[in-house]
Amino acid sequence: MPAYIIFTREKTTDQSEMDIYNGLAGATLEGHPVKPLAFYGKQTILEGAPHEGAVLLEFPTMAEAKAWYDSPAYQDAVKHRHAGSDYRVFIVEGV
């Protein structure tokens, strides 16, 4: 079953850290079976608190989604996202 990693950026706290993250994160997807479905596009908040943006990535399985997230390359990048912003990130299995 497909799996989706969903990122919602609640707030940017340090743009310089986010610039580092943005420079590193894209390359971490190479070699992983991922299909970007949404990347900070236009949005309409229907319920809940507003957020700055969202990313939706599709992987063939939960295991492949987790393998990318846990990869050394992404973990090297994600420390900059943690230092520069508040996010919610989760994996949901598709149907």
Distance (Å, whole) CA 9 – CA 53: 5
Residues with Cβ within 8 Å of residue 46, at least 6 apart in sequence:
none
Q: What is the pTM of this model?
A: 0.92
32-46 confidence digits (pLDDT tens):
999 999 999 999 999
Distance (Å, whole) CA 67 – CA 74: 10
> How many structural domains does the chain have?
1
Q: How confident is the model at residue 61 (pLDDT cuts 50, 70, 90)?
A: very high
- What are the distances in angstroms from CA 57 to CA 6, 13, 81, 90? 7, 24, 17, 11
Residue 89: give the domain boundaries: 3-93
Q: What is the CATH number of the domain that holds 83?
A: 3.30.70.100
pLDDT at 88: 97
Q: Locate 70 and state its tokens.
A: 């846990």
Question: Element (H or E) spanning 24, and its range?
Answer: helix 15-25
Q: Locate 84 and state its tokens.
A: 């520069």
CB 55 within 8 A of CB 39: yes
